[in-house]
Structure 1
Amino acid sequence: MIGRVRTNGVEIAYESFGSQEGRPLLLIMGLGSQLIHWDEDFCGSLVDLGHYVVRFDNRDAGESTHFHEAGMPDLAAALGGQVDAAYLLTDMAADVIGLLDALDLANVHLVGVSMGGMIAQTIAVAAPERVRSLTSIMSTPAPHIGAPTPEALGALLSPPVGNREAAIERALQAWSLMGSKGYPMDVERIARVTGLAYDRAYDPAGTARQLMAVLASGDRSEGLRGLDVPALVIHGEDDLLIQLPGGVATAEAIPGAKLLTFPGMGHDLPRDLWPVITDAIAGLTALAEREAAV
């Protein structure tokens, strides 16, 4: 099912998979990425494991509302500590809660990658009653924990390109640096999805505004320490964009969280790891359901 909802002053584009009788699971994508970056086969595997899956475009990405009037933020000033954010992660979290309301989902299992993990953490802290379980992948409780290497930061902040072909070439270069070097690079998939994402909405300023939200939203560690929710933290041991200490700190902050790390995994989800990752997510959601039923 494909749809749009109006909430929190924005329009959110979403897509769902599977039967609504399944365990409700919401996928939250990362910086500058769109719902299509959650591969349909990955979503299908989660459906096969008993879930009703929803993926969506964050604000300033894909077919959801873009804050064009806010313009391109000053990235140099932000890296120097002067962050001027058009919105915060709490606003992006409120978008998600509004989406859940529109879909009549009282609470869900949250899975977020990178910035999406930060949004998921924010929801769990602010509205724990909406969260059945939390899976935080390649993320961190604060920007300074597991900060990117200089090379990864350079790739992240590289100037915008001018056409579709250049966007695809830039993506291939970026993921050859930041992706999972211990696994085959899926060049065809990266090129295909990058092209589709360019066609849906190419908005480098929107990505920069999302980055400002991350930088301006502070440290969630203290809030995470107060959680009482089944949690799983997944991280690549060779992640250059959010390095392994980000995942370790997340797991250490959340009481009882399980930490699952993979050598050779970078800042992506290599297809070879999908079975073990989806099985781990399904194990967590099933456990959360059993605990809730007691």
Structure 2
Amino acid sequence: MNHDLPLADPALDLFADLPHGIRMCYRTFGHPGQPIIVLIAGLGLQLVSWPMAFIEGLVAEGMHVIVMDNRDMGRSTHMSMQPPARWRLLLGRPPAGHYQIKDMADDVAALLEQLGVAQAHVLGMSMGGMIGQNLAAQFPHKVLSLISIFSTTGNKQVGQPAGSTLWRMLLSKPAWTLPEAQDRFVAMMRHIGNPDVPDIEAVWRNYIEQAWQRDTPVQGLLGYERQVTAVVASGDRTNLLHSIQAPTLVIHGDHDRMVHPSGGEATARAIHGALLHTVCGMRHQIDAAITPQLLQLIVPHVRDAERQTPVNA
């Protein structure tokens, strides 16, 4: 098996209809009796974005892994509201009533409830880290430990994209064919990801092919825009992060052009007792090459949290 490539079989997709009207698509890996770790994907990414090497590495360490499509992405519910013009977001003027990161955390909590999961370890990357942060603050009894990877607090003074990245995002246009979508994703990932990883371009193209099969171009574009709006509408979570009690590990790369390393530093400062680990050379990408190094950080963190959890928790 090529451990870089996500599983493509749509039969792996499972669905949960949540009480508040959201339908979540998810997959599970490993044995249900093992400690559960939930992986929350980043902005505009589907559950098939997680490298199988990363998932299988967690399973090999004795964890039961749950991955999901966030609302407005993949095969989960797509919302109906029209996303705002980009100039409104640049001016910090998201529309009133739009869903926020806290609502996406509610989705994850409801999914866990639906699956009968009382407690889980939570790992989020980028926007997924924001959702994980909110989950740990809103539902402290559900989160055994938190791992926030290249994410930030929402404070505009930290964690901002590089100017070159922001410019590319603002000028991005919709792709209406698969090759065009693959080319545009590859171009962005060459900028924010690590193009030196062997065969990584094939991984990027394979991901977009899988994503293309699970979502339509129009749905994917509108969902991405609404997720961006949710991030902007959520504002600064620093005060909320002060309330997090779960053992927290913050991981960030020192070469991140999407979320400046100051975002990880601010996250660690805001959460009492959080550990910050800066990975030299890491960019805004989780891949098979960086997986062993990430597992060396994540697995001990999860096991320490397991040992600290009361038996009757």
Letter in 2 for 1:172: V
- One-letter code aligned to 1:5: A
Q: For structure 1, which runs of at least 5 residues remain unmatched after alignment?
A: none
- Spell out structure 1 runs of 4+ moving beyond 3 A: 181-185
Residue 99 (str. 1) matches residue 111 (str. 2): yes
Matches of 1:82 and 1:224, distance apart in 2 = 23
2:74 maps to 1:74: no
- Whole-Å separation in 2 of the counterparts to 1:125 and 1:186: 35
Whether contact under 8 Å (1:183, 1:264) holds in the other structure is no
User: Where do residues 190-229 of structure 1 align in structure 2 (5 Å cutoff)?
Assistant: 190-201=204-215, 202=217, 203-229=220-246
Farther-moved stretch of structure 1 (193-202 vs 54-63): 193-202
Report if aligned partners of 1:181, 1:266 keep a CA contact under 8 Å in 2: no
Q: Where does residue 272 of structure 1 map in the other structure? A: 289
Mapped contact 1:18–1:53 kept (Cα < 8 A): yes
Distance, in Å, in 1 between the alignment partners of 2:199 and 2:193 is 8
Number of residue equivalences: 293
CA–CA separation in structure 2 for the residues paired with 1:83 and 1:72: 9
Consecutive unaligned residues in structure 2, runs of 5 or more: 1-11
- Aligned position for 1:241: 258
For the 8 Å contact 1:182–1:265, the answer to whether it is kept is no
Q: Please give the per-residue CA displacement for 1:46-81, whole angstroms capped at 9, x wherever unaligned.
A: 0011100000000000000111x3123211111112
TM-score, scaled relative to structure 1: 0.96
Cα pair distance change 1:185/1:240, threshold 3 Å: farther
Q: Tell me, what secondary structure is at the counterpart of 1:128?
A: coil
Quick one: which amino acid aligns to residue 74 of structure 1? A
User: Does structure 1 conserve the Cα–Cα contact (< 8 Å) formed by 2:189 and 2:195?
Assistant: no
Q: Percent identity, aligned pairs only?
A: 36
| Residue 275 of structure 2 is aligned to residue 254 of structure 1 | no
- Counterpart of 1:186? 200
Letter in 2 for 1:115: M
Distance 1:2 1:105 in 2: 18
Deviation, 1:279, is: 2.6
1:46 partnered with 2:58:
yes
Q: Distance in 2 between matches of 1:259 and 1:190?
A: 28
Structure 2: distance between partners of 1:147 and 1:230? 25
Please tell me whether residue 126 in structure 1 is matched to residue 141 in structure 2: no
The structural deviation recorded for 1:155 is: 2.5
Shift of 1:242: 0.5
2:302 to 262, 285, 288: 285
Which residue does the alignment assign to 1:3? 14
Indicate conservation of the 8 Å contact 2:182/2:205, yes or no.
yes
Matching residue of 1:83: 94
Deviates more, 1:216-225 or 1:53-62: 216-225
SS in 2 for 1:14: strand
SS at match of 1:162: coil
Counterpart of 1:119, as a letter, is I
In structure 2, what residue type is equivalent to 1:80?
Answer: L
TM-score by length of 2: 0.90
CA RMSD of aligned residues (A): 1.5
1:146 maps to which of 155, 159, 164: 159
Q: Secondary structure of 2:176's match?
A: coil
